Amino acid sequence: MSESQPEIRKGLVGVVADVSAVSKVMPETNSLTYRGYAVQDLCEACSFEEVAYLLWNGELPNQAQLDAFRKEEAANRAISPALIEVIRQFPKDAHPMDAIRTAVSFMGLEDPETADTSEPATRRKAMRLLAKIPTAIAAAHRLSKGEEPVAPRSDLTFAENFFQVVFGKVPAKEVVKSFDVSLILYAEHGFNASTFTARTVTSTGADLHGAITAGIAALKGPLHGGANEAVMHMLKEIGSPEKAVSWLEGKFDHKALVMGFGHRVYKNGDSRVPTMTKYADKMAEVVGDKRWMETSRVLAAEMLKRKNIHPNLDFPAGPAYYLMGFDIPLFTPIFVASRVTGWSAHVIEQAADNRLIRPLSQYSGVAQRAVTPISARG
Ligand code: COA
């Protein structure tokens, strides 16, 4: 690499930007660990709250630590009347990701410790965000449909309460477990675009609410979190397993992206897909509607055969959420409710050993020239 011809890694492909002890993405073995634990093992053995504790503290909690964590999270679920009033003013057709981004930004205006970027304050703020985000997501969603918000309940788990604030009731245990698993799988994934965004904001010395607001903005994009919604729209457009191959042909003819497939890091399969597929299949059984998962299977097999491209987590998560009864625009906000744990862990890590993130660009514009006074411009 010489000064005149710097190596440009567009999209920062393959660039190792820093060290991180939060998670390890291993494309060679299609595996992922959080703080050293395989994510599929965490899904089977732990609750989302245990995993959130793990991401923030480096170790799984004992019972007393988990009880204290749950108590604090449950006690912080209510959002202020002022925020509910702000949410009422949102346009009815506002995208739910724009709604939660704005709500989190507003929480930053209200939080008593917003400007305190010390680690203890950041941890307290992260807990408040984790607790309040589902309440705000659900309030925005319900108000957009002309329904009144439902108050959170402190006697429920994080996953149960999510259903409570969205639907006003908690479903069967296996539905809650499948949802909890999806939260664990979405919680953390290395230096993905939204996490890197949150770390970049943190590197300037800005506060947690700013970092999380920016992370939500990055996650909205269809190349990132927005793909789980796009997958369900695609499955509905296809309609049935028999139509999947011809639908795909049409996409190949136009060289179009097929949502829910491909990954920047995993090229031989996403570590999280088998677990999410297992629980999406369970949902199909519980609901008694296998058409979405059967269509998915045909699509995945054909994509592999024709393009050698594997599905990513969004591919099974989309139909799983649909089968749980969530409206499609809620899928990416659910990702936010979970990923706030990973983002916060990275914010804490970045701040603890910070250096301003500030890469270079190679100039490609016009050569330097003289300014002409306006009177002389044509
Ligand atoms: N559908 C069709 N073709 C795809 C594809 C998809 N979902 N994902 C990748 N490809 C193709 C690319 O077009 C490219 O083809 P080319 O070599 O003929 O140009 C090739 O596979 C290599 O892909 P690449 O562009 O190197 O992938 P990337 O690392 O830049 O992008 C994603 C990764 C995730 C952005 C990309 O796979 C994508 O857009 N997927 C769909 C959106 C999605 O599901 N996002 C969620 C990610 S978790």
The answer to whether 224 is a known catalytic residue is yes
Neighbouring C-alpha atoms within 13 Å toward the C-beta of 98: 7
Neighbouring C-alpha atoms within 13 Å toward the C-beta of 168: 6
pLDDT confidence tier of residue 3, bands split at 50, 70 and 90: low
pLDDT of residue 1: 46
pLDDT confidence tier of residue 103, bands split at 50, 70 and 90: very high
- CA distances to 18, 53, 229, 309, 324 from 284, rounded to whole Å, are 41, 30, 18, 24, 9
pLDDT digits (tens, 9 = 90+) for 331-360: 999 999 999 999 999 999 999 999 999 999
- Residue 11 Cα to ligand 1 midpoint, Å, equals 12
pLDDT of residue 4: 66
**321 is written with which tokens?**
């959420």
Mean pLDDT of the chain: 96
Enumerate residues lining ligand 1, CB below 6 A. Answer: 11, 223, 227, 257-264, 307, 309, 312, 314
pLDDT of residue 2: 46
pLDDT digits (tens, 9 = 90+) for 30-47: 899 999 999 999 999 999
